[in-house]
């Protein structure tokens, strides 16, 4: 289906400010649909005056739909729907006397002009399914009265209200809790859900006749309510925004919509939602995140302790083979520690692996015993990786870089032409896979080198991690000048 922007660009001459106004209106028109028990369709005027394009559609959650099929993107020629023409040309609300019959369903149609900056930029057709109409309850009468005032505000250019939008995930809806205030902030009517929300705060009795801001001050401790200005403005119905109030056990979101059908404030509509369970889960998630980061921090500290013990043992060992093996173990433990250190500062269980790769390159160069100066350069980006992939990939990169530096540039200092070694790490994300290439300009592989017959521990670790742990493919061979190692692994 086409979007509002696509329809505006293709068929209308509405300017950006007009579109922004319509988007703000559509962010809140679920409220109007629910209060009206009706389907809403936004009709945009064709730039050539040939008719109207359906730029948006909203169904009610409080009653049966009058439009079974989607109409978004459809076109109605001028003259076919007299009410659309009349509302757009006169700028007045147009009601049809007799209902229309659609698929054996009687539908009452009303058309609301959408006014901005003194001119009508669109219209809203309100379609009410009349099947099953009965004597309305007090709740339904309050809904319909409030819908009528919102309708007048749209036609007069007073709605939508600038500021906070109503299409956020935790924004209260009509069915969550409905409270109607008079101009003084006194409760005229509260729906059963709205009354229940305040009874969870500790209210005894009814809401009707009480000043909501004063009641909230009595029920909610000062540390759990907003500042006094916000409390008075929102719960008094003077300011169109939302705020949170509550106790240690209960949290409510209260959203205020001042009603100005004729320009002067006649009262306010308050929507109330109990988000106690959502906030409890948020607190649990925060606690879990802190705990996870603390675990990564402690694992990093423990790994650094292990590395220090191995380093101490290497100093006390006189056998060169044993000392070299211990030093390699220190580097491997250090590469894992770097991953956990990064995760201890991360908000999510993913890490920016570019930072880890750069630190590993510096660590390998700093501890290498070669006399030729070597630079490790990264090209491209690894991007964000999960902790499950980051740890084995860090070990793979450490082993490959260590081999490139130590085996590629060993004894090159004796060459007649002094130079600086260069190891390039290239990372690319291609169609759901991570492609990593490490290429040096060192002495290259021995002529009799056989990757399948190699017994080197480091190479065995790399192949096992890439192929078994990461589910990827590992290759090693001659590069343009030195050695080229590449790994291709799938991304989650």
Q: Which residues are 253's β-sheet partners?
A: 244, 273
**For the segment 37-91, what is each residue's pLDDT rounded down to a tens digit?**
999 999 999 999 999 999 999 999 998 999 988 999 999 999 999 999 999 999 9
Q: Which of the four pLDDT bands, split at 50, 70 and 90, describes residue 419?
A: low
Q: Give the integer Cα–Cα distance in Å for 273 and 170.
A: 8
What average pLDDT score do residues 207-213 get? 95
Q: Is the pLDDT of residue 447 over 60?
A: yes
Phi, psi for 66 (deg, rounded to 5): -100, -10
Phi, psi for 101 (deg, rounded to 5): -110, 120
Give the angle subtended at the CA of 202 by the CAs of 196 and 206, to the nearest 5°: 55
Closest by Cα among 256, 257, 289, 255 to 275: 255
Q: Which of the four pLDDT bands, split at 50, 70 and 90, describes residue 125?
A: very high
Mean of per-residue pLDDT scores for the chain: 86
Q: Give the integer Cα–Cα distance in Å for 175 and 177.
A: 6
Instruction: Compare 242 and 136 and report the one with higher pLDDT.
Output: 242
Q: Which of the four pLDDT bands, split at 50, 70 and 90, describes residue 416?
A: very low
- By CB atoms closer than 10 A (0-12, 13-18, 19+), residue 349 is middle
pTM of the model: 0.65
Give the angle subtended at the CA of 392 by the CAs of 438 and 374, to the nearest 5°: 30
Cβ distance 334 to 307 under 8 Å? Answer: yes
**Which DSSP category does 264 fall into?**
S
What per-residue confidence (pLDDT) applies to 334?
72
Q: Is the pLDDT of residue 294 over 80?
A: no
Cβ distance 313 to 443 under 8 Å? Answer: no
């Amino acid at each position: 289906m086409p979007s509002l922007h696509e329809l505006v660009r293709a068929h209308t001459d509405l300017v950006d400010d007009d579109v922004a106004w319509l988007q703000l209106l559509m962010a809140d028109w679920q409220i109007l649909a629910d209060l009206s028990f009706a389907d809403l369709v936004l009709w945009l005027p064709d730039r050539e005056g040939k008719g109207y394009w359906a730029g948006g559609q909203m169904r009610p959650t409080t009653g049966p739909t009058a439009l079974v099929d989607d109409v978004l993107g459809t076109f109605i020629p001028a003259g076919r729907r007299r009410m659309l023409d009349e509302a757009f040309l006169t700028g007045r609300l147009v009601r049809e006397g007799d209902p229309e019959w659609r698929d054996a369903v009687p539908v009452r149609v009303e058309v609301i002009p959408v006014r901005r900056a003194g001119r009508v930029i669109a219209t809203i057709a309100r379609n009410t399914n009349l099947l099953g109409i009965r004597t309305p309850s007090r709740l339904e009468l309050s809904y319909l009265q409030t819908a009528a005032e919102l309708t007048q505000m749209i036609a007069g250019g007073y709605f939508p209200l600038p500021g906070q939008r109503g299409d956020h995930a935790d924004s209260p809806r009509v069915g969550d809790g409905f409270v109607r205030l008079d101009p003084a902030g006194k409760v005229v009517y509260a729906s059963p859900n709205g009354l229940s929300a305040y009874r969870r705060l500790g209210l005894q009795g009814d809401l009707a006749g009480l000043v909501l801001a004063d009641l909230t001050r009595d029920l909610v401790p000062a540390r759990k309510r907003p500042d006094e200005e916000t409390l008075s403005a929102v719960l008094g119905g003077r300011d169109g925004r939302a705020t949170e109030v509550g106790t240690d056990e209960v949290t409510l979101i209260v959203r205020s919509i001042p009603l100005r059908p004729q320009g002067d404030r006649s009262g306010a509509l308050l929507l109330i939602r109990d988000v106690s369970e959502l906030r409890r889960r948020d607190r649990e998630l925060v606690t879990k995140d802190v705990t996870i980061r603390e675990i990564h921090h402690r694992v990093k500290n423990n790994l650094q302790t292990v590395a220090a013990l191995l380093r101490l043992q290497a100093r006390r060992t006189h056998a060169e083979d044993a000392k070299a093996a211990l030093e390699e173990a220190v580097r491997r433990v250090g590469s894992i520690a770097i991953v956990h250190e990064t995760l201890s500062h991360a908000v999510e269980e993913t890490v920016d692996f570019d930072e880890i790769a750069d630190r590993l390159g510096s660590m390998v160069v700093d501890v290498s015993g070669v006399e030729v100066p070597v630079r490790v350069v990264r090209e491209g980006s690894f991007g964000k990786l999960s902790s499950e992939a980051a740890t084995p990939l860090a070990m793979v990169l450490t082993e490959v870089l260590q081999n490139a530096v130590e085996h590629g540039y060993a004894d090159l200092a004796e060459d007649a032409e002094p130079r600086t070694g260069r190891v390039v790490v290239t990372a690319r994300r291609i169609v759901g896979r991570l492609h990593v290439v490490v290429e040096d300009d060192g002495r290259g592989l021995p002529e009799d080198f056989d990757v399948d017959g190699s017994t080197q521990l480091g190479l065995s670790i790399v192949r096992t991690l890439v192929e078994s742990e990461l589910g990827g493919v590992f290759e090693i061979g001659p590069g343009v000048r030195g050695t080229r190692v590449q790994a291709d692994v799938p991304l989650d």
